[in-house]
Amino acid sequence: MTTRDTTVAAGSDRTRPDGPTRAGRSRRSARRRRVPLRTRIARDWQLLAMVTPGFLILLVFSYLPILGNVIAFQDYNPYLGDNPLQAFARSNWIGFGQFQLLFEDSAFWEAFRNTLAITAFQLVFFFPLPIFLAIMLHNLLSSRWRGFVQTVVYLPHFFSWVLVVSFFVAMLGGAGLLAQTMREAGMQPWNVMTNPDTFIILVTAEAVWKDVGWGTIVFLAALSTIDTSLYEAAAADGAGRWRRLWHITLPGLRPVIVLLLILRLGDALSVGFEQFLLQRDAVGRQAAEVLDTFVYHFSIATGNYGYGAAAGLFKAAIGLGLILAANRVAHLLGERGIYSK
């Protein structure tokens, strides 16, 4: 218990070096808020000007689309006007009609099931790997080797999904290295890239290859904040390396693990969109259709905008609910969670 407390305190010290002074300052300013708004704007106009470009971009490309979700309640017809706004104004409002159709659509539920299955699978077979790797890297004695391994395993994070899938095709595809070697050895080559039964393993392998290294960064940072004297004291008391791992390292990582779990749960309905879209045709809809690709295929690809918007809105609503719920659970367990302020 004490272990965790120290690390949390250490962590917050590290991340917010001037926390107390800042808080004090803003409290004082709250008490003094007698300065009229116009004076304050005149004083801070430069700061406001700096914020403006970002403000506008978010307004147009984030907030406007979020408001645009209302077309989920319309029978939106793009041909009713010269531009989307006009078409929007002229389209009929149909309430929850799109949602009704959606909930009766077996393809939608199939995509829903696929998404949840893949999330669950990756939670078990992907999520623990960066923790494992981070601990291993942290315990690597030679800093030179550690740096080398880190450099190499971070790299695939920066590859696009098109590249990652291309790599896998070149290695494991029907004309790839594996099939080629198997043919030479006189065996029947198998093509994992087009096999729907093993697709869930394939996508997880791709995700691991791309991001397992990158995922260690946050855990490595947390590991470096664990006080080494704790290990020393434990060793002096006769705790072996596995007991130190269990009683010091893992509790020290707990806040970060919980935080990432919350974020992952909040994103439970999003599994690598581009990754699936790229491979959907090769593997087939049954295995590779997830909610995001469903939204794409049943809206923009087919022109049925209202329907796709309804599916997207449904997904977003559940996602928001999930993240709030997960954060709530984290608070109940005594963790910091995401927005604790």
**Residues of span 171-210 touching other proteins by CB under 8 A:** 171, 173-177, 179-180, 183-184, 188-191, 193-194, 209
Quote the tokens at residue 260. Answer: 């990432």
Ranges within 100-119 binding other proteins (CB under 8 A): none
Q: Is 79 in the site for other proteins (CB under 8 A)?
A: no
- Which ranges of 70-193 would DSSP assign to H, the alpha helix? 84-90, 97-103, 106-125, 128-138, 143-154, 161-172, 177-184
Shortest spacing between CB 290 and other proteins, in angstroms: 13
Ranges within 252-291 binding other proteins (CB under 8 A): 256, 259, 266, 273-274, 277-279, 281-284
Residue 224 identity: S
Shortest spacing between CB 227 and other proteins, in angstroms: 5
290 φ/ψ angles, rounded to the nearest 5 degrees: -115, 175
The region of 89-97, 103-111, 112-120, 213-221 touching other proteins under the rule CB under 8 A is 213-221
Q: Which of 123, 220, 318, 322 binds other proteins (CB under 8 A)?
A: 220
Paired with 74 in beta bridges are: 93
Q: Is 51 in the site for other proteins (CB under 8 A)?
A: yes
Residue whose token pair is 């596995």: 242
Please spell the DSSP secondary structure of 219-277, one letter per residue. Answer: HHHHHHTS-HHHHHHHHHTT--HHHHIIIIIHHHHHHHHHHHHHHHHHTTT---HHHHH
Q: Is 167 in the site for other proteins (CB under 8 A)?
A: yes
- Count residues contacting other proteins (CB under 8 A)? 131
Ranges within 13-32 binding other proteins (CB under 8 A): 14-18, 21-22, 25-26, 29
Q: Which of 74, 91, 122, 225 binds other proteins (CB under 8 A)?
A: 225
Q: Which of 118, 133, 269, 326 binds other proteins (CB under 8 A)?
A: 133
Closest among 215, 213, 211, 193 to 202, alpha carbons compared: 193
